[in-house]
């Protein structure tokens, strides 16, 4: 299913996989994040070309999405600070690049590595 964004000129449908890739790339750029983990619970780090596999996007109503991000964080960092930074960065980039509203972002820490 695609996230639907109405405009004066028509409707823009943005694939959930595009939003997932955007969120995944943004999350991996945050300090303390080593990478994304598979959303199905595996704690192996995903390769750079698979960042959307660690993110689930659900279009909950017209113009709004919910995002779940599964992460592996670096040992020694504040998990709370990393999660808050990921939430803030992902919300900013998704809303500004797509025009969609992000209703909710859940960060799931699947692992910690040195």
| CA gap 105, 87 in Å, rounded | 6
Domains of the chain: 2-113 (3.30.70.1350)
| CA gap 114, 99 in Å, rounded | 37
pLDDT tens, 70-99? 999 999 999 999 999 999 999 999 999 999
The predicted model scores a pTM of 0.88
pLDDT tens, 20-68? 999 999 999 999 999 898 877 655 665 666 777 889 999 998 889 999 9
Q: How far from each other are the two terminal CA atoms of the chain, in whole angstroms? A: 38
Beta carbons within 8 Å of 68's beta carbon, 6+ residues apart = 39, 55, 56, 105, 106, 108
């Amino acid at each position: 299913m695609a996230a639907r964004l109405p405009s004066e000129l028509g409707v823009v449908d943005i694939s959930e996989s595009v939003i997932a890739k955007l969120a995944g790339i943004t999350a991996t750029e945050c300090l303390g994040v080593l990478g994304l983990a598979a959303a199905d619970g595996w704690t192996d780090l995903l390769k750079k070309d698979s960042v959307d596999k660690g993110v689930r996007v659900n279009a909950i109503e017209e113009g709004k999405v919910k995002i779940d991000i599964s992460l592996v964080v670096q040992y020694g960092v504040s998990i709370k600070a990393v999660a808050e930074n990921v939430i803030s960065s992902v919300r900013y980039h998704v809303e500004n690049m797509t025009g969609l509203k992000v209703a909710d972002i859940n960060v799931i820490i699947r692992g910690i590595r040195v």
